[in-house]
A and B are shown apart, each in its own frame.
Chain A
Amino acid sequence: MGTVLTPEFPIREPSDIAEIRALLDAVTDPEIPVLTLNDLGVIRGIEVEHEDGARSVRITITPTYSGCPAMITMEMDIRDCLLRAGIDRVEIETVLSPAWTTDWMTENGRRKLAEYGIAPPVKGEPSGRRALFGEAPTVQCPHCGAEETKLVSEFGSTACKSLYQCNACLEPFDYFKCI
């Protein structure tokens, strides 16, 4: 793992940063292909350096879950995307602190998740702040919009999701749980 110091990135060429960020809009979560890494909020820093006409980019990312197997794919996809775009050198560093939270997901990302059939994380409900036996948040069914839904299992098809069912349309659905 990389160092945990919160890096301060010298922004040498602001236009470069915007360009790299735009390029990274093509990189999606391998498990949830409607979400880009920018939507997820896992990209924590972009640093660009020019030397002898070559462009080096350093991307800092943070994992969603400790054991998420998608992280290694995300790293490969970032590298692939930037090298294909003509960047000469790509370095990827992982930082753990501050720990990723679903609060970092963008509005656009939340909207796309719901359209995809996954209920987005309920805002202001991070697990740490919820009492261990607190009421589960009201999760809206991404299919019919009803709020009468029930938790089937706290753990779902990937580390970041739990399994719900809608009491109105009876469809099961994934909920991107708060962390």
Chain B
Amino acid sequence: MGTALTQDQHFAYVLRIGDNALILGHRLSEWCGHAPILEEDIAQTNIALDLIGQARMLLSHAGAVEGKGRDEDKLAYARDVLDWRNCLLVEQPNGDFADTIARQFLFDVYNHLFFTALTRSSDAELAAIAEKSVKEIAYHRRHSSEWLIRLGDGTDESRSRMVEALNRVWGYVDELFTMDEVDDAALAAGIGVDLAALRPAWDQGVSDVLNQAGLDLPTVTWSVGGARSKGHHSEHLGFLLAEMQFVPRAYPDSAW
């Protein structure tokens, strides 16, 4: 057993989950009007909508846990880059469609396992949000898995792009499973998930789909983390926030 979960740690724990959902949701929303085909434009924005909806519930809950009067909007629009606690993977740019699918697939497999485990959280609100979200995430996982197979097992061009895309984001995977003191305390309190314990199921889930796509596991050896624990983000997050936060920062507290 670790030390007792402090209120700050509880807040940090919920915030990390909410930030992942909001940043990935925003990234996917950037495809609106730009996806390769109409059906995919609709699919990407539907998934974005699910994630942003989940982020609203999670950030509202984080604000309530923190108890300092910050609501979902304050947390989404009035925090600068160092205060964000999403993982590096979700903030990576959309790139081409293979890059988007690679990022989404690796995250969806993780997210599905994570939220399935989170439904057993002793934080009743968090468990309820997870119970709601996991049904949506199952659809996301199926969608990105199907695209990974379609592109990996498609033409020479789609296959090489898919391989390159997986190589580009593979180094961000370890961060998803790295436990720190907040994770340890949340786990000990029965609120959090044992991230390291999800890894074997993730490895299996990912290699099953890669096999179907006729692709090998990436052999990338670099690995980087530190965003969800310490706010050490890549340069991409600042640009994302600049766009996402511009209007509420330019016109604070305006309503329409």
Binding site for B on A (CB under 8 A): 1, 3-5, 63, 65-69, 95-101, 126-128, 132-133, 152-157, 159, 163, 177, 179
Contacts and interface: CB of A to CB of B under 8 A. Distances in A.
B53 A154 contact: no
B124 A66 contact: no
Contacts of A97: 124, 127-128, 131-132
B39 interface: yes
A100 B57 CA distance: 15
Contacts of A154: 43, 139, 142-143
A4 B124 contact: yes
20 contacts: A1-B60, A4-B128, A5-B124, A65-B136, A67-B49, A67-B54, A68-B49, A69-B49, A96-B128, A97-B124, A97-B131, A98-B131, A99-B132, A126-B135, A132-B142, A133-B142, A154-B43, A154-B142, A155-B139, A179-B139
Contact of B136 (A98, A153, A179): A179
Which one of A3, A67, A153 has the highest number of Cβ atoms from chain B below 10 Å of its Cβ? A67
Contacts of B50: 65-67, 159
B136 to A, nearest CB: 6
A155 B124 CA distance: 30
B40 to A, nearest CB: 8
Main secondary structure of the interface of B (DSSP, over half): helix
Nearest to B145: A132
A67 B51 contact: yes
Interface in B37-90: 39-40, 42-43, 46-47, 49-54, 56-57, 60-61
B39 A153 contact: yes
Nearest to B123: A4
Nearest to A4: B128
A156 B127 contact: no
A132 B141 contact: yes
Which one of B46, B54, B124, B134 has the highest number of Cβ atoms from chain A below 10 Å of its Cβ? B46
A59 to B, nearest CB: 18
A152 B40 CA distance: 11
A66 B50 CA distance: 6
Contacts of B133: 66
Contacts of B49: 65, 67-69, 159
A21 to B, nearest CB: 24
B241 interface: no
Given A66-B133, A67-B51, A68-B53, A3 B125 contact: yes
Interface in B88-143: 124-125, 127-129, 131-136, 138-139, 141-143
